[in-house]
Amino acid sequence: MSQRLTQTEKWDDVWFSNLSPLQKLLFIYCCDRCDIAGFLEINFRKISFEIGEKQSTIEGAFKGLSRGLLASRNGRFIFVRNFVKHQKNGKLNPDNRCHKSILEKINEKQHLFDFQILEIINKGEDLSPLEGASKPQVRAYSNSNSNSNKGGVGGIDPETFIEFFNQAKGSKEKPAKYRLNSKTVSMLRAREKDGYTFEDISKAIKNCKADTFHIQNPKYLTPEFILRPDKLEQYLNAEINTAQKHFPGATTNREYVL
Are the C-beta atoms of residues 111 and 185 closer than 8 Å to each other?
Answer: yes
* Mean per-residue pLDDT, 168-177: 84
Nearby residues of 102 by Cβ (< 8 Å), 6 or more positions away: 36, 37, 84, 89, 92
The span from the CA of 117 to the CA of 111, in Å, is 10
> How much of the chain exceeds pLDDT 90, in percent?
23
* Mean per-residue pLDDT, 20-25: 93
What is the residue type of 189?
R
Are the C-beta atoms of residues 66 and 135 closer than 8 Å to each other?
Answer: yes
Predicted local distance difference test score (pLDDT) of residue 165: 93
Nearby residues of 156 by Cβ (< 8 Å), 6 or more positions away: 148, 149, 188, 189, 192, 197, 198, 201
The span from the CA of 240 to the CA of 246, in Å, is 13
Q: What is the dihedral of CA 26, 117, 40, 150, to 10 degrees?
A: 110
Q: Which has more pLDDT, 187 or 5?
A: 187
Fold for 8-123, please state it: Arc Repressor Mutant, subunit A (1.10.10)
The span from the CA of 257 to the CA of 166, in Å, is 26
- Helices 55-62 and 44-51 pack at an angle, to 10 degrees, of 110
> How much of the chain exceeds pLDDT 70, in percent?
78
Name the least confident of 10-14, 45-49, 230-234, 245-249.
245-249
Predicted local distance difference test score (pLDDT) of residue 131: 37
Are the C-beta atoms of residues 106 and 117 closer than 8 Å to each other?
Answer: yes
Nearby residues of 81 by Cβ (< 8 Å), 6 or more positions away: 38, 67, 68, 69, 70, 120, 125, 127, 130
Q: How many CB atoms lie within 10 A of CB 168?
A: 18
* Mean per-residue pLDDT, 45-66: 88
The predicted model scores a pTM of 0.49
* Mean per-residue pLDDT, 63-78: 84
Q: Distance from CA of residue 200 to its chain's centroid?
A: 20
Q: Which has more pLDDT, 3 or 60?
A: 60
Domain positions in the chain are 8-123, 145-257
What's the number of CA atoms in the CB half-sphere (13 Å) around residue 145? 7
Cross-strand partners of 77: 41
Model confidence pLDDT, tens digit, residues 152-172: 334 678 888 998 999 999 877
**182 has a pLDDT exceeding 70:** yes
Rounded mean pLDDT of the chain? 77
The span from the CA of 8 to the CA of 57, in Å, is 26
Predicted local distance difference test score (pLDDT) of residue 240: 55
Predicted local distance difference test score (pLDDT) of residue 71: 87
Model confidence pLDDT, tens digit, residues 197-229: 888 899 999 999 999 998 999 999 999 999 999
